[in-house]
Amino acid sequence: MHKTGITRFVSDLHLSAERPDLTARFAAFLADTAASKITALFILGDLFDAWIGDDDLAQPFNAEVCSLLRKLSDQGTRLFFIAGNRDFLIGDTFAQAAGLQRLTEVEKVGAGEAAILIMHGDTLCTDDTDYQAFRQQVRNPAWQGNFLARPLAERRAEATALRQKSRAATKEKSQTIMDVNAEAVRQALIASGCRRLIHGHTHRPGCEQILLADGVAERWVLSDWDSHRGDALEVSTEGSIRRIDQSGE
């Protein structure tokens, strides 16, 4: 992948036509990313509140977000995307239109000591067994093919119903169950050989040190974007990570 330059990471924007304030802040963030000549922007999932298929690109709001991304990529920043649990149906059509490159669910950015492991973060929540079962079902290509063959209006209604179910389900689950599992984090770090991990999904921004058998690793968590919060992580050419506030406050 890219070798030098400054990179940025962002996740959990949950953009929707109902929240023009978030889209405006994201547009400002993208404009700043272009002006700052950032080499690469990694979107680590949940860019959209819900994505029901690339054939919904004709919808004005979706087209607007797509063109915002396209503008940044045309200005020279490389765009990468890892799917989240809200937008795993983003496909090649959207990626090409937006000028972004889709990545697999776990990736490594950079090399050696500076390497960073990146992912959405939902796969680390192994205690949330209901969610993991649901995830397995909706990530199945055959299931996705079936779903995408249905009319857009039906898919939209299904997504709305599912969001409601999810809200009800998450209200019942404990905070511990919905956080990452410490052992899953350690295993992911060990398997990758990376000493740094960046992810989103849990909506619990922070930076935690993790003791491994042969040293210390760092887990950086991005925030979700909402009325009073929103952030990105920026990695300098030297490899140091800093949080940049995008809450607009």
Q: Which residues contact Mn ion (rule: CB under 5 A)?
A: 46, 84-85, 201
Which two structure tokens, joined as six digits, stand for 138?
A: 């909706």
Tell me how many residues contact ligand LP5 (CB under 6 A). 24
How remote is the C-alpha of 232 from its chain's centroid? 11
Q: Which residue has the tokens 């070798």?
A: 3
Stretch that binds ligand LP5, among 23-31, 95-103, 159-167, 237-245 (CB under 6 A): 159-167
Q: Please pick, from the candidates 69, 90, 123, 128, the single residue that binds ligand LP5 as defined by CB under 6 A.
A: 128
Give the list of residues 6+ apart from residue 24 with CB closer than 8 angstroms, or none.
Answer: none
Residue 44 contacts ligand LP5 per CB under 6 A: no
- Evaluated on CA atoms 21, 26, 27, 28, the torsion sign reads positive
Q: How many Å apart are CA 166 and CA 170, to the nearest integer? A: 6
The CB-of-44 to Mn ion minimum distance in angstroms stands at 9
Q: Please pick, from the candidates 71, 91, 97, 134, the single residue that binds ligand LP5 as defined by CB under 6 A.
A: 134
Which CB, 75 or 132, lies closer to ligand LP5?
132
Binding mask 160-179 for ligand LP5 (x = CB under 6 A): --xx-xxx-xx--x----x-
Which CB, 32 or 49, lies closer to Mn ion?
49
Q: Which residue has the tokens 């990545």?
A: 103
The CB-of-184 to ligand LP5 minimum distance in angstroms stands at 13
Residue 39 · residue 7 · CB < 8 Å: yes
**Which one of ligand LP5, Mn ion, none is in contact with 138 (Cβ closer than 5 to 8 A by kind)?**
ligand LP5
Residue 91 · residue 116 · CB < 8 Å: no
The CB-of-113 to ligand LP5 minimum distance in angstroms stands at 31
Residue 122 · residue 184 · CB < 8 Å: no
Q: How many Å apart are CA 86 and CA 164, to the nearest integer? A: 13
Give the list of residues 6+ apart from residue 220 with CB closer than 8 angstroms, or none.
Answer: 196, 197, 198, 199, 206, 207, 233, 241, 243
**Which one of ligand LP5, Mn ion, none is in contact with 115 (Cβ closer than 5 to 8 A by kind)?**
none
Pairing state of beta strands 40-43 and 78-81?
parallel
Q: How many Å apart are CA 234 and CA 208, to the nearest integer? A: 17
Q: Please pick, from the candidates 38, 52, 180, 185, the single residue that binds ligand LP5 as defined by CB under 6 A.
A: 52
Which two structure tokens, joined as six digits, stand for 18?
A: 């109902």
The CB-of-150 to ligand LP5 minimum distance in angstroms stands at 10
Q: Please pick, from the candidates 30, 41, 43, 159, the single residue that binds ligand LP5 as defined by CB under 6 A.
A: 159
**Which one of Mn ion, ligand LP5, none is in contact with 84 (Cβ closer than 5 to 8 A by kind)?**
Mn ion
Footprint of ligand LP5 on this chain (CB under 6 A)? 50, 52, 85-86, 89, 122, 125, 128, 130-131, 134, 137-138, 158-159, 162-163, 165-167, 169-170, 173, 178
